[in-house]
Structure 1
Amino acid sequence: MSMTELLTAEDIKKAVGAFTAVDSFDHKKFFQMVGLKKKSPDDVRKVFHILDKDKSGFIEEEELGFILKGFSPDARDLSVKETKTLLAAGDKDGDGKIGADEFSTLVAES
């Protein structure tokens, strides 16, 4: 499954384009712009599994740094600061990674 099967290419392009400057990433705005907030819980889980590149069942800190590339291959990497901010926002149980339920909560809070 690809991201464009779940979200429109136009929304993805707009959302990724809005955060091209380093340290400008805002996950709440991004999830709204990309259309993820309006998706069903099942579709949000599908997006999670696309972003979970190593298929571990979690999005680890290293994978978070490449989250924009999960939506668009030519997107930039997140800065260390942005990655840590996103991890802190999503990691509710403090294990250093974001699980599917935590990701769903993160999107719902947007």
Structure 2
Amino acid sequence: MSSILNADDIKKALDAFKAADSFDHKKFFEMVGLKAKSAEDVRKAFHVLDADNSGFIEEEELKFVLKGFATNGRDLTDKETKAFLNAADKDGDGKIGVEGEQ
């Protein structure tokens, strides 16, 4: 992920959401600089987070999304994972496709 995003930005974003149930995906992606990246860079980041290379980020992968940005990232709580999935799963299939909201 550090080849796509600035390592300092990633650390600051992870530090901002250390507390359980504090994660806000929109703020996080803005803080790491992903919102300002090209569609190609967003796709690259998506593929890093898609651990099983299925073309989707499923709920189980989403729980570990912060670890995709840094190995010391915490796991999302079940509440955070479900809220993130509900916000990003535009077609209601229980997973996030590469074209979903990032």
Structure 1 and Structure 2 fold alike (TM over 0.5): yes
CA positional deviation for 1:37: 0.5
TM-score normalised over the length of structure 2: 0.98
CA positional deviation for 1:92: 0.5
The corresponding residue for 1:24 is 22
TM-score normalised over the length of structure 1: 0.91
Find the residue that maps to 1:85 and give its secondary structure.
Answer: helix
The corresponding residue for 1:92 is 90
Counting matched residue pairs gives: 102
Name stretches of at least 5 consecutive residues in structure 2 with no aligned partner: none
Aligned residues with identical type, % of pairs: 67
Once residues 7 and 44 of structure 2 are traced to their aligned partners in structure 1, the CA distance between those partners, rounded to angstroms, is 16
More helix by share: 1
Is 1:6 paired with 2:20?
Answer: no
CA positional deviation for 1:34: 0.3
CA RMSD of aligned residues (A): 0.5
Decide which of 56, 59, 72 is 2:70's aligned counterpart. Answer: 72
